[in-house]
Amino acid sequence: MDAFFASFDASGKNLMRQRLWIALVLVGVALAPHAASALDKVNPYICPTAAKGSGLDCFLEAVPQTYTMCREIKSIEIIEYGMDGAQQGVNGAKTESCIDKHKLSMVLPYQAALREEAHSKEIIESLRRLHDFWLDSLAKLMPAAGEAGESYKLRVNVPYAGFAQQIGAIRSLAAAAPAAKPAAKPVPKHKPASP
């Protein structure tokens, strides 16, 4: 059994993780009938407003929150193993686990935000850009070979400005956009009363 698991190299593990993440996203989309019930299942630690807020609010709140959680875990690994040792062997496993966990935990808020803002192509595109930036920022939490501690600390703090800028722009767009109108109910046709 150990030989079976040992046969997977790093790229095989990453491919398996990507496929699992995609499958879970699709399952999450299929099982989430609407934003309100989807947010009931969101961890309040990443989205304290989930109980009373919108999917958009939850997603925008969770982006910097989840990034911070994984950044802090990577900081602990660096303290424990040093800059060069933080990714050697299984030393980076806690950060990788955090990233995988939050990719999954963000599915419901992200899908709820997309559904709520479906009336605005501009907001949808902005949400997708923010989500992609968040994913890219998480991937860059790993220190580069030979990177100095101070430059690493500066580099992993840079995404916060990008998050703030993009979140502010999305909130402005959402505030300026007309609210989505519910579909008009068809007028029932009256049949003449039979005598």
What are the residue boundaries of the structural domains of the chain, listed by start? 12-176
The pLDDT score that the predictor gives to residue 31 is 47
Instruction: Please count the CA atoms within 13 angstroms of the CA of 57 that sit on its side-chain side.
Output: 11
145-153 long-range Cβ contacts below 8 angstroms, 24+ apart:
145/84, 146/84, 147/83, 148/83, 149/78, 149/83, 152/78, 152/83
Q: What is the pLDDT of residue 45?
A: 82
* b/e code 93-109 from CB counts within 10 Å (16+ = b): eebbebbbebbebbbbb
The predicted structure's pLDDT at residue 89: 81
pLDDT given for residue 53 in this prediction: 77
List, for the chain, all residue ranges whose pLDDT scores fall below the cut of 50. 1-8, 10, 27, 29-36, 181-185, 187
Q: How many residues does the chain have?
A: 195
Contact (CB, 8 A) for 66 and 46: yes
**CB-CB neighbours of 192 under 10 Å:** 5
Instruction: With CA atoms as reference, report the closest residue to 127 among 67, 171, 84.
Output: 171
Contact (Cβ atoms closer than 8 angstroms) between residue 21 and residue 99: no
User: How many Å apart are CA 129 and CA 16, to the nearest integer?
Assistant: 25
Q: Are 63 and 160 in contact (CB under 8 A)?
A: no
Residue 160 pLDDT = 98
What pLDDT score does 85 carry?
Answer: 84
CA 74 to chain centre: 18
Residue 109 token pair: 């808020």
Give this prediction's pTM: 0.71
* pLDDT in the model for residue 88: 82
The CA distance from 89 to 106, in Å, is: 28
Pairwise CA distance, residues 142 & 123, whole Å: 30
